[in-house]
A = this chain, B = another copy of it.
Amino acid sequence: MGEKSQKESVTLRVVLDTSIFVNPDSRFVFGKSPDEAFINFLKEIKGKNKLSFFMPPSVYRELLNFIEAPPTLKETVAIRKQPPSSYESGVPAIMVYELIEEIRSRINKGLRIAEKYSLKKLKEEGGIQKRNGEEIIKNLRQEYRTALREGIIDSKEDFDLILLAKDLGGILATSDKGLIKWASKLGISCVDSGELKEIILGH
């Protein structure tokens, strides 16, 4: 215990989400494009021995989809690609309860949106002739996705990030609202790209 906590006090473990390099609102801290943001980040962490960086392999693969010229393995060696070890171990049951409640309420919202865009409502509004079909579908999709996905864990990559941060006793660098919300339920601290940059500069 003594040895472990001492070790942790000198090395801060940071789990990186793609949003840090990919989201337009977030990556500007490190660069204009995902490629530039990622390369600049790799430069800035060089020689920072008291920080260690991790990405679950699933999330690293996701990042590569956004990067046009992926850095070499040697260049990214400072980011350890590590899956969470806790597939078989436990997540507090309370988290699953909350996930189930959240899903239930989202599903209901989705139905309200579907109803809103269905023929009947639009007929009632008297807008059938005026409105463009393509635009309606576009609006429907946008509204539905926002209602059902924003602020929820909706991919195994998200859950990999949370579990890995939990395994490592580390912090999670992300600007994803859903991740921040669910990580906090497991007692994981989150930082955004601006805070991450401050942490790197301060080490």
Partner-B contacts on A (CB < 8 A):
84, 86-97, 99-101, 103-104, 106-107, 110-111, 113-115, 117-120, 122-124, 128, 131, 133-134, 136-137, 140-141, 144-145, 148-149, 152-156, 158-159, 163
Q: Which residues of B contact A122 (CB under 8 A)?
A: 119
Contact B140 A114 (CB under 8 A): yes
> How far, in angstroms, from A154 to B154 measured CA to CA in the complex?
16
Contact A148 B100 (CB under 8 A): no
Contact of A110 among B95, B114, B128, B163 (CB under 8 A): B114
Q: Which residues of B contact A104 (CB under 8 A)?
A: 154-155
* In the complex with contacts A101-B156, A110-B110, A144-B110, A89-B95 CB distance below 8 A: no
Q: Which residues of B contact A137 (CB under 8 A)?
A: 115, 118, 120
Q: Which residues of B contact A144 (CB under 8 A)?
A: 110-111, 114
Contact A163 B107 (CB under 8 A): no
Q: Which residues of B contact A99 (CB under 8 A)?
A: 96, 99-100
Contact of A100 among B107, B123, B140, B156 (CB under 8 A): B156
Chain B CB within 10 A, most for which of A84, A96, A111, A134: A96
Q: Which residues of B contact A96 (CB under 8 A)?
A: 91, 95-96, 99, 159
> How far, in angstroms, from A111 to B148 measured CA to CA in the complex?
10
Contact A87 B94 (CB under 8 A): yes
Chain B CB within 10 A, most for which of A103, A152, A154, A159: A103
> How far, in angstroms, from A183 to B195 measured CA to CA in the complex?
42
Contact of A136 among B106, B118, B148 (CB under 8 A): B118
> How far, in angstroms, from A163 to B96 measured CA to CA in the complex?
11
> How far, in angstroms, from A5 to B133 measured CA to CA in the complex?
65
Contact of A114 among B89, B92, B117, B133 (CB under 8 A): B117
* In the complex with contacts A114-B114, A128-B128, A133-B120, A153-B90 CB distance below 8 A: no
